[in-house]
Structure 1
Amino acid sequence: MDTTHTLEENDGRPSRRRFLRAIPVAAAGLGTSGLGSASDTSDLDRKGEFLPGITKWGDHVRLGNGRARSFTTGTRSGGPTHHGLYIERAVLDGLPSAGDLEAAGESRYSDKYGPTGRALPIHHRWSQEFFLPLPASTATPFTFLGVNWNPAGHPPVWSAPHLDIHFHMLPAATVDAITGPTAPSYELPAEYLPGGFVRSPVVDERVITDMGEHLVDPTVPEMNGGTFTNTLIWGASDPDGDGTAELTFVEPMLTREYLRAHSGTESRPIAQPTTYARAGTYPTRYSVRDVPGADAIAITIDSFESFEGDA
């Protein structure tokens, strides 16, 4: 099913990175386009549809009392504009507790690739996890979403019930094979660290099951005695096994309380590295959008730019 839509754009440019404005990119089902400056357009319409552009939808999964699905949007001329997770607001009610997940285990939540996900301990706390393919995503390196409902949060400071939305750049089978928590067995070059981000000081727990190493911004409120509501994590791993890591996922983390109260559109920049390991088209912003006509919320990575890389 295809649905057209409008999503707000922004012509601000994050600093501290090398980018090319006009590298053509091919997208399966989306055509070919060079990337240029974005311009402001109208936000989501009253019906909850997105205009203009072409949206390709993933299959629904069941989360709480509602449904969630992945989507990819491109311009009519073929440029990538958004990858995202679309959730009905009913998702935020009826979510399983950590005790529910532990008790039900694989009798109810047995398949991360299936419609009800898998229950497993991640970050030392029980989580409901989904692997959701991203449709028509070859214009960018993004391959699938790893979505986790964390009813008891997780250490060190993200203890509020929240959703983790991992936008992965590796094949699902590669991420599925990552186990943890453990210490990384590779180096992460400084030029691949996004501006302002650092590696966790807890070395033996940097690499997390089904995810990879987590990189954090130490200036966010929750890292300084404030309240966790909406934050961004960058992730890294060594997919080639050559001893050198690269950025492999970007992860908005949003509390259930924040999502329940959210209205309008909130967009934040995504910090960029000096250079990426691989040339490609990467997001420079993430956004949380209320879709009032559909009683839904869309969480997206967007404002894509084509970047130079070391390979």
Structure 2
Amino acid sequence: MKKVIALFTIVVALVSCKKDKDNTNFFKGPESEVYHGKAWSSLKLNSEGNPEKLTLTLDAATLASVQVGESGSGEGHTHENNILITLPGKALEATPFKFIMLNWNPMGHEPAGVYDTAHFDMHFYLTAPNEVMNYVDMAKMENLPSTDYVPANYIAGPPVPMMGKHWIDVTSPELHGVPFTQTFLYGSYDGQVVFYEPMITLAFLKATSSFQRTIPQPSKFKVSGYYPTRMTINKEAGTTNISLEGFVYRQAS
């Protein structure tokens, strides 16, 4: 009997240690209000301490309470529905990302007939919030990075003050007659890539429990670090998680 108790104690201790180890690899950022719900970021590291998953989480109340079809919101990007999502401190150390700008578009935005449906823009910025708020110089907006630093098939799209120049994948289905559900953009300012952007409709987020897509990759990176290669959507315990995953170390060139 004593041997059984001792063995049970060892098993419990090992499970507890594993759980504690798992907890030390997970970091959550502060919560931000989004309409009647909340959003937050988190970082999961792998067993080697490298980034495994950088996540933006929207709770069920957010998806249920965002307002659709507000007057004037379909004319272009608007800053009135921008929410700055802080990253956990560990994410600033382990990844090149600095914060997330979550933008809700009640009637979508240009171009008409493509992105003019209710959706979220999720800008994962490589630069700090105070820098982004100064992205207003149109000459710098039109100073494009070398094509090596944006993926093939991406072309420069519209500039948006206090966001950046948006780059669009010309092979995306919504540009070829398929209704828009999700896509992936890049952004630049003054010759530098400054954000990665999943853009996803409210309808798709509500209807999707599990989804994965690759993130088109550039051939060069300005700053060495771990960069994501895929984007996923996963529902869990009443939340919708939009994650950048498949991080690979890239050498600056």
TM-score (norm 2): 0.82
The reply on whether 1:147 has 2:102 as its aligned counterpart is yes
Q: Residue 81 of structure 2 aligns to a residue in which SS?
A: strand
In the TM superposition, residue 76 of structure 1 has moved relative to its aligned partner by: 4.0
Matched-pair contact (CA < 8 Å) for 1:166–1:251: yes
Q: 210, 216, 219: which is aligned to 1:274?
A: 219
- 4+ long deviations beyond 6 Å: 180-183
Matches within 5 A, 1:22-101: 54-97=25-68, 99=70
1-side partners of 2:240 and 2:60: how far apart?
7
**Whole-angstrom distance in 2 between the partners of 1:192 and 1:219:** 18
Larger Rg belongs to: 2
Q: Aligned letter for 1:276?
A: F
C-alpha displacement of 1:298? 0.5
In the alignment, which of 80, 83, 91 is matched to residue 130 of structure 1? 83
Q: What's 1:286 paired with?
A: 231
Query: 1:187: Cα distance to partner?
Result: 3.4
SS of match in other structure, 1:260: helix
Is the Cα contact below 8 Å between 2:74 and 2:110 reproduced in 1?
no
Calculate the TM-score normalised by the size of structure 1: 0.67
Q: What's the counterpart of residue 251 of structure 1?
A: 197
Listed as ranges, the gaps of 5+ residues in structure 2 are 1-21
Deviations 1:54-110 (A, max 9, x none): 22111112223321111111124311111111111221112134648x8xxxxxxxx
Q: What is the RMSD of the two structures over their aligned residues, measured on CA atoms?
A: 2.4
For structure 1, the 5+ residue unaligned runs are 1-50, 103-119, 201-205, 239-244
What is the CA deviation profile of residues 141-165 of structure 1, one whole-angstrom value per residue up to 9, with x for unaligned ones? 1010000111010001211101111
Structure with higher RCO (Cα < 8 A, 6+ apart):
1
Report the Cα offset of residue 289 of structure 1: 0.8
- Residue 242 of structure 1 corresponds to none
Inter-partner Cα distance in structure 2 for 1:181 and 1:257: 34
* Structure 2 Cα separation of the partners of residues 224 and 303 of structure 1: 28
